Amino acid sequence: MPQNTPPSPARTDRISIGISSCLLGERVRFDGNHKQDAFITGTLGLVFDFVPVCPEVAIGMGVPRPPIRLTGDPQSPRAVGVKDISLDVTAALTAYGRRMAVELEGISGYIFKGKSPSCGTRRVKVYSGGAPSLQGVGVYAREIIQRQPLLPAEEEGRLGDPVLRENFIARVFAYRRWQSLLASGFSVGKLVEFHTVHKLSLMAHGTEYYRALGRLVAEAKSHRPGVLCERYGAEFMAALQRPATRKRHTNVLLHTMGYLKTRLDRADKAELLELIEAYRLGHLPLIVPITLLKHYFRRFPDEYIVKQSYLHPHPAELMLRNGI
């Protein structure tokens, strides 16, 4: 039987993320079926604790139930019955979203069911006479996203794209590190350390973010701690949301190689440059030059580089850099 109230996030070292219950195989769809996703339950289940939520079940619609859809203004649609428009669950879904945005404050990411009038995060159909608009956002999802703006959120369908998949998982782990910093008590010193660890990661998403956040940290003492914390967190997560490109990764790889310039002989440098160039041209995945760089830094440790999150943004067993 589906649960109306989701369990609390697990109190372990594993990362908790919210997820639409149907993606885990729970039969909570309007027709009594599910949308189990093998990558989520198989691969991501290795490192994440899932906090399943089905907002329709939670507000008492039951299984099976009349299907609903979004109607009206795409910016503020209503969730009503497909066959019976007098069935209006907009207020109930909104209230539940607001409640869960508070109850799920400890999660580090959220995977929503795409195209859903409750859980879709983009391009949800909104009907208002004529062809439906694709500008809608699910009523429940909108509340979670608006009230937890830093929370990494993605739809299960978009996780099929290797770049978007790696980007989302990297954001989840980065956000978890940010949450840990806040939980330990924010200070300028801790912010400097956090920023230092993420410098190469920021560079991969855009040098403009790298420079802007660097200036913010350099001017940290001129800001009130609360303002500084809020601004850095928002700008940091916004920077990571922009997917890193092959060109920007190449720049970071070459920059990182510079820390080995006095350690490698001519042949080793040539081999590393050859792999980086092959990656730039799309002939090799990112994991290949990264693996060789890690090998060299194990031989020739550099305190700054070894600490960089860029070299280990997520667990190796997820093999996320094998496909980008």
Domain ranges (residues) in the chain = 15-160, 161-324
Distance CA 61, CA 64 (A): 8
CA distance 222 to 114: 43
Does the predicted TM-score (pTM) go above 0.75? yes
Residue 13 has a pLDDT of 72
At 280 the pLDDT is: 98
Residues of the chain predicted below pLDDT 50: 1-12
Q: Please give the Cα distance from 138 to 158 (Å, whole number).
A: 16
Beta-carbon-side half-sphere exposure of residue 176 (alpha carbons within 13 Å):
21
Q: Looking at the chain, which runs of residues are DSSP E strands?
A: 15-20, 48-53, 68-71, 78-81, 110-112, 124-127, 133-136, 153-155
Residue position matching structure tokens 């428009």: 85
Pairing type for strands 15-20 and 133-136 reads unpaired
Contacts with 311 (C-beta within 8 Å, 6 or more apart), sequence order: 200, 290, 293, 294, 297, 305
